[in-house]
Structure 1
């Protein structure tokens, strides 16, 4: 029986991953995760400040999401339920990482708002954009986790 998350007991492969609800979110996750990465990387990063953690989370999630997209696109998962549970586990973990990184980035942005020099004002604006995109990316990973869990339960 077909559902909004694909067929029950079926993991898509090839071009079909762009037709099911949880898997169609791979591209927005990559785009907005890349935006977070580039915005934070373009600001002043002090290794003692949590923006280094935000960069690490963005790089890890970008690489792993791209790898996960390739696994599903190439059909390497061979339609096993262990891949469905791994999909839920990865996206849940990525959502948790992005949530922690988003909160830290918002905290640092609030601290930077107290400095009012010209150079810090530019970094402050970039950090505000990074915070918005970071929370949006977190939302995408949470939605992907929920729909992947629905698909996993149908196995």
Structure 2
């Protein structure tokens, strides 16, 4: 029988995900995504549609990133081909989601700039916007490095 070699040599598993180039970004992505989730959840939801979308994006990306990190940590990717492309696609989706959510949250925050009655919520929304853009940047860097890793296969 002929053996087939699977191109999983550059995909880390176990503790290796905390030391390799794109995968080390899982932890900051979880931290900043969790901060966006917490900050948006703690504000007064007056325009529920944009902030509801931001909540969906932050929770979805947080859960998917956590599950993806656990799968990589357990070494589940060693059994099949295509994990590098799936990693790239997951982070591309996260970039698109977070960028649209960040713009929406920033627009909503700007609309409530002159509302003196909810100044505390305005400040929390500003922090959520900043952390949302940081999460977007982290996911974009991870996507870019995943593209480079995918091309080496």
TM-score, normalising length from structure 1?
Answer: 0.90
1:125 to 123, 126, 147: 123
**Helix, strand or coil: the match of 2:31?**
helix
Q: Which residue of 2 aligns with 1:10?
A: 10
**Helix, strand or coil: the match of 1:17?**
helix
Contact 1:10 1:79 in 2 (8 A): no
2:132 to 134, 138, 150: 134
Unaligned runs of 5+ in 2: 1-7
With 89-98 and 40-49 compared, the bigger mean Cα shift is at 40-49
Instruction: Give the aligned CA root-mean-square deviation in angstroms.
Output: 1.6
Equivalents in 2 of 1:57, 1:106: separation in Å? 15
With over 3 angstroms needed to count, the CA separation of the structure-2 counterparts of 1:135 and 1:62, relative to structure 1, is same
Contact 1:11 1:79 in 2 (8 A): no
Contact 2:85 2:150 in 1 (8 A): yes
Q: Runs in 1 of length 4+ with deviation above 6 angstroms?
A: none
With over 3 angstroms needed to count, the CA separation of the structure-2 counterparts of 1:148 and 1:80, relative to structure 1, is farther
Alignment of 1:1-155 (within 5 A): 9-46=9-46, 48-78=48-78, 80-117=80-117, 120-155=118-153
Equivalents in 1 of 2:58, 2:151: separation in Å? 29
Equivalents in 2 of 1:140, 1:73: separation in Å? 20
**Helix, strand or coil: the match of 1:113?**
coil
Query: Following TM superposition, by how much is the alpha carbon of 1:45 offset from its aligned partner in structure 2, in angstroms?
Result: 1.3
**Helix, strand or coil: the match of 2:12?**
coil
Unaligned runs of 5+ in 1: 1-7
Contact 2:47 2:108 in 1 (8 A): no
**Helix, strand or coil: the match of 1:35?**
helix
TM-score, normalising length from structure 2?
Answer: 0.91
